[in-house]
Chain A
Amino acid sequence: MSYHKPIPPKGTHTLPFWEGTKAGRLMLPRCVDCNRVHWYPRHICPHCHSMNLEWIEASGRGTIHTFAVQYMAFGGWAQEVPFVTAFIDLHEGDRMLTVLRGVDPKKPEEIRVGAAVQVEFEQADESTFIPFWRVVDGSQGGA
């Protein structure tokens, strides 16, 4: 496997998320009692403090909340500067961090807060598929 960037350690309560990524599904934790989605995965609902949580399959759609262009990075990412990081407002609620695809890091003024994005997964090792988000908004062009 040629993936040289950090691979997340897997927690004890986040396995449904990682299992989902293997099948190309974005799984999100939702509270059975208050029905709200939260991210990152908790042992307890951060909204109503219920411990009655479930996993749902998300649409994989979202929008850019904000972004930045990284010129300093370490490890495997150091070879990829500049790259664009972004916080994604998930269609189902709450927010996820990502490295954005389908944008030109040299033209940050062309990246639009609010642009539509779609999740995709990259295999990093036998058991890890990492979610990344791609701009699908027509006005962004493609790369």
Chain B
Amino acid sequence: MPGQLYKAAAIVGAAESNQIGFLETPVTSLQLHIEAIRNVCDQTGIPISRIDGVFSTGWSTELCEHLGIKPKYIDTTAVGGCSFEMHVHHALAAIYSGIIEVALITHGENGHSARKIGNGGAGNYARGGGTQSPSHEMTVAYGLAGAASGYAHAMVRHMHRHGTRREDYAHIAKVSRDWATLNPRAAMYSRKKHPFGGPITVQQVEESRLIAWPLTILHCCMVTDHGGAVLVCSPRVARSLRTRPVWIAGAGEAMGHGNMLEMEDFTATSARQSAEAAYTMAGMGPADMEMAMVYDSFTITAAITMEMLGLARPGEGHLFWKDGRAAPGGSFPVNTNGGGLSFNHSGMYGMPLLIEAWRQLSGTAEDGIHGDPGKQTRARSCVVNGTGGSLSTTGTLVLVADD
């Protein structure tokens, strides 16, 4: 008897770039991708705008940005030459589950041209654009260095639009530190653990040194070492284990852009779309959430995200921290581990979000050492939102505790 995914999807067209082989005029990987995509869409009659899932071994968001599309399923599985067969498998599952209808699996690799125009002839497994990404070409001259330099532009636009002041966002850093002082694992748990650890004031956040105005260093996450893993299992396996399951009620993903140059609205992220997908899958909404774990690479990231998740009106995300709702003992706990601002942030903070959300909803958020008052909340549901790139990509989960 066939499995559930038997004939759940079909390959409906296949095409190549305009030229293949040992090309005389060097081309970039990106150009090869785009030509092949244009050709397969012409062949099938499917408009590029109907593609709602993108699978490539490159930086798939960069390909989407170049095409001007914003799919709701984005996959960059890159494990060598077999990746494309795996992409078909992943697309099959995504189509079967009803998340997408049109999956683009795309390849562009200038193995020959790269010997002339760079990248050592190794091809471009890593990035869609290879060494010749036009977004890089048009931004590299202007001195931006690291995430803070870009995110500061979003903060200025957010302040401009909503009439907020930097101090409004400083409360996010202060309250997150309060949570960290309840978490012995947090890098900024105490002054004993780190010379700059322990409680901080809004004034200290404001007066710390400038990184990229208006962001001071205490508006920015740390850069630490961190490793983490989670396991996701079927209900049958989940029920058989000694741990308490936390159920995935909803999930969604979305992208706005790759490069900040392409950010349409500097006061919004694609979390509005990824959250909507997650809430819809869960049959729940913002009002059903009892806590949140949101990416806080910077204070502004957390503020905007609360707005995108439907928890606050535009321009009012920061009020969760300013009025104490998000704080220890507050009515709506947020970032109970101390966040990327004060717990840990190694570069990609999405994993710590998952770990803390599981701990809270499985009732294991207490470390049970040092006799601390602790950070375990009574929340039974949690919205988790990761933000990637330069406010570029988002993944939202709605998690609920076991009955």
Q: Which of A68-83 contact B (CB under 8 A)?
A: 68-74, 77, 80, 82-83
With A82-B213, A97-B261 in contact, is A49–B149 under 8 Å at CB?
no
Q: Is the CB of A11 within 8 A of B132?
A: yes
Q: Is the interface of B mostly helix, strand, loop or mixed?
A: helix
For residue A42, CB closer than 8 A to chain B, the reply is yes
Task: Report B-chain residues with C-beta under 8 Å of the C-beta of A98.
Answer: 142
Task: Report A-chain residues with C-beta under 8 Å of the C-beta of B339.
Answer: none
Partner of B153, one of A51, A66, A96, A124: A66
For residue A142, CB closer than 8 A to chain B, the reply is no
In this complex, what residue of B is CB-closest to A50? Answer: B38
Q: Is the CB of A9 within 8 A of B66?
A: no
For residue B144, CB closer than 8 A to chain A, the reply is yes
For residue B26, CB closer than 8 A to chain A, the reply is yes
For residue A91, CB closer than 8 A to chain B, the reply is no
**Hey, what's the 0/1 contact readout for A24-50 against B, CB within 8 Å counting as 1?**
000000000000001111111111010
Q: Is the CB of A49 within 8 A of B68?
A: yes
Task: Report A-chain residues with C-beta under 8 Å of the C-beta of B225.
Answer: none
Give the interface residue-count category, chain B.
Answer: 35 or more
Give the interface centre of B30, B31, B141, B211 by most chain A CB atoms within 10 Å: B141
With A12-B28, A43-B66, A68-B213 in contact, is A96–B261 under 8 Å at CB?
yes
Q: Is the CB of B131 within 8 A of A9?
A: yes
For residue A130, CB closer than 8 A to chain B, the reply is yes
**Hey, what's the 0/1 contact readout for A78-113 against B, CB within 8 Å counting as 1?**
001011011100000001111100000000100001
Q: How far is the CB of A72 from chain B (nearest CB, A)?
A: 5
Q: Is the CB of A40 within 8 A of B138?
A: yes
Q: How far is the CB of B83 from chain A (nearest CB, A)?
A: 23
Q: Is the CB of B68 within 8 A of A72?
A: no
With A14-B134, A72-B149, A85-B149 in contact, is A49–B139 under 8 Å at CB?
no
For residue B21, CB closer than 8 A to chain A, the reply is no
With A9-B137, A13-B134, A49-B67 in contact, is A70–B266 under 8 Å at CB?
no
Q: How far is the CB of B16 from chain A (nearest CB, A)?
A: 15
Task: Report A-chain residues with C-beta under 8 Å of the C-beta of B201.
Answer: none
Q: How far is the CB of B335 from chain A (nearest CB, A)?
A: 24
Q: Which of B128-160 contact A (CB under 8 A)?
A: 131-132, 134-146, 148-149, 152-157, 160
Q: How far is the CB of B87 from chain A (nearest CB, A)?
A: 21
Q: Is the CB of B67 within 8 A of A44?
A: yes
For residue B371, CB closer than 8 A to chain A, the reply is no
Partner of A11, one of B137, B139, B266: B137
Q: Is the CB of B137 within 8 A of A10?
A: yes
Task: Report B-chain residues with C-beta under 8 Å of the C-beta of A61.
Answer: none
Q: Is the CB of B30 within 8 A of A43?
A: yes
In this complex, what residue of A is CB-closest to B135? Answer: A40
With A11-B137, A65-B157, A72-B149 in contact, is A85–B143 under 8 Å at CB?
yes
For residue B35, CB closer than 8 A to chain A, the reply is yes
Q: Is the CB of A43 within 8 A of B31?
A: yes
Q: Which of A1-22 contact B (CB under 8 A)?
A: 5-14
With A40-B261, A85-B143 in contact, is A68–B134 under 8 Å at CB?
no
Query: CA–CA, A72 to B155, complex, Å?
Result: 17
In this complex, what residue of A is CB-closest to B33? Answer: A43
Q: Is the CB of B213 within 8 A of A7?
A: no
Q: Which of A96-143 contact B (CB under 8 A)?
A: 96-99, 108, 113, 124, 130
Q: Is the CB of B266 within 8 A of A66?
A: yes
Query: CA–CA, A42 to B148, complex, Å?
Result: 27
22 A-B contacts, Cβ less than 8 Å apart? A10-B137, A11-B134, A12-B132, A14-B138, A39-B261, A41-B138, A44-B38, A44-B48, A44-B67, A45-B68, A65-B266, A68-B156, A68-B212, A71-B212, A72-B146, A72-B211, A82-B213, A83-B143, A85-B142, A99-B142, A108-B213, A130-B141
A residues with CB within 8 A of B:
5-14, 38-47, 49, 51, 65-74, 77, 80, 82-83, 85-87, 95-99, 108, 113, 124, 130
Known: A5-B141, A14-B138. 10 other contacts (CB 8 A): A12-B27, A38-B68, A40-B139, A44-B34, A65-B157, A66-B160, A71-B211, A72-B146, A72-B212, A85-B142
